[in-house]
């Protein structure tokens, strides 16, 4: 499960100490999974049928996993309570984990629900510190590409998702920066309809072909090259020796890039996506110092918008 160290312009606890929190997340996730799996197995071997609370009556009708996840997710909405309370509940197993232990019918469902539980924790870590917090847009709790990077990559991958960097005092939003233990991946997507064909060129617009119909899309290479340049300049400033690779991804269709030269850009489409994705997932290397140093330097140049935490404000008003 990749780690979300920066989300847009939200304050992240990784900014305070990426060395500590990157390893802490791996330790926490491993401990929580072992405890969750053990409790689920014990629950399955117990002949006694668990008593259902009134709020769990919908379980009797045996809805689909998707419906159960939606209802569980709605009841666990992060908008209904403070970040600190949610984090404590997730870490201590007060709410989320007992619920998924009851709901999961098999080990595959347990893994899915566990990842959803940890996903919420990650968003909390990526939007708060002990003293400060940022208001998270609800869309991120359902954003497919964000879940893709956090739920399908190893724990040792560090992700900056649409981070806002300060470049000459001006905020600039980038796309995705994914730090593996060995490489910095600057990633942008050029996706659309399934089995589409995207004609790449050096022009401002590319062409997407769907069932013999054409539509224009903005050339993603422009933003990708800018992202690569920003990252390279930061690394140079701090003498960070960490390779940078750039990729345009179309997981569901094809990219025809024969009509122009794009230098060191990797094009990932249906023809080579599985090979690329598998090579990243199979990288069984622990967190590296150079990787964490690179992450720390990038975070120093990110912009964050935040307020003092609501629970701290409440405490002050009581004094």
Which residues 6+ apart lie within 8 Å of 263 measured at CB? Answer: none
158 pairs with which residues across the strands?
Answer: 3, 179
**How many whole angstroms separate alpha carbon 263 and alpha carbon 126?**
34
What phi and psi values does residue 135 have, to the nearest 5 degrees? -80, 115
155 pairs with which residues across the strands?
Answer: none
170 pairs with which residues across the strands?
Answer: 167
> Of 286, 298, 312, 299, whose CA–CA distance to 13 is shortest?
299
Q: What is the pLDDT along the chain (319 residues), one digit of tens a residue?
A: 899 999 999 999 999 999 999 999 999 899 989 988 888 888 776 644 443 333 323 222 344 444 444 444 444 444 444 434 444 444 333 445 666 777 788 888 888 888 888 898 899 999 999 899 999 999 999 999 999 999 999 999 999 999 999 998 899 999 999 999 999 999 999 998 899 999 998 889 999 999 889 999 999 999 999 999 999 999 999 999 999 999 999 999 999 988 777 778 999 999 999 999 999 999 989 999 999 999 999 999 999 999 998 766 544 334 3
Which residues 6+ apart lie within 8 Å of 281 measured at CB? Answer: 152, 153, 154
pTM above 0.85, yes or no: no
């Amino acid at each position: 499960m990749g780690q979300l160290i920066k989300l847009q312009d939200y304050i992240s606890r990784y900014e305070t100490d990426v060395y500590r929190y990157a390893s802490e997340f791996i330790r926490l996730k491993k401990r929580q999974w072992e405890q969750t799996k053990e409790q689920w197995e014990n629950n399955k071997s117990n002949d006694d049928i668990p008593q259902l609370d009134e709020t769990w009556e919908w379980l009797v009708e045996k809805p689909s996993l998707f419906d159960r996840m939606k209802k569980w997710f709605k009841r666990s909405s992060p908008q209904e309570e403070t970040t600190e309370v949610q984090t404590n509940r997730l870490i201590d197993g007060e709410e989320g984990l007992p619920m998924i232990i009851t709901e999961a019918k098999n080990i595959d469902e347990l893994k899915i629900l566990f990842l959803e539980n940890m996903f919420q924790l990650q968003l909390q870590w990526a939007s708060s510190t002990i003293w400060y917090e940022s208001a998270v847009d609800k869309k991120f709790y359902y954003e497919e590409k964000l879940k893709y990077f956090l739920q399908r990559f190893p724990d040792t991958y560090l992700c900056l998702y649409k981070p806002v960097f300060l470049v000459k005092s001006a905020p600039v939003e980038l796309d995705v920066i994914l730090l593996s233990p060995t490489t910095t991946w600057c990633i942008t997507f050029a996706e659309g309809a399934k089995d589409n064909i995207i004609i790449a060129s050096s022009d401002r617009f590319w062409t997407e072909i769907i069932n013999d119909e054409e539509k224009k899309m903005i050339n993603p290479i422009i933003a990708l090259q800018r992202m690569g340049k920003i990252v390279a300049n930061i690394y140079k400033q701090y003498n960070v020796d960490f390779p940078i690779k750039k990729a345009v991804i179309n997981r569901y269709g094809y990219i025809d890039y024969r009509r122009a030269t794009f230098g060191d850009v990797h094009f990932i489409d249906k023809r080579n996506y599985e090979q690329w994705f598998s090579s990243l997932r199979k990288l069984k290397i622990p967190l590296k110092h150079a990787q964490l140093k690179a992450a720390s330097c990038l975070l120093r140049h990110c912009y964050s918008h935040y307020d003092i935490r609501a629970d701290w404000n409440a405490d002050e008003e009581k004094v």
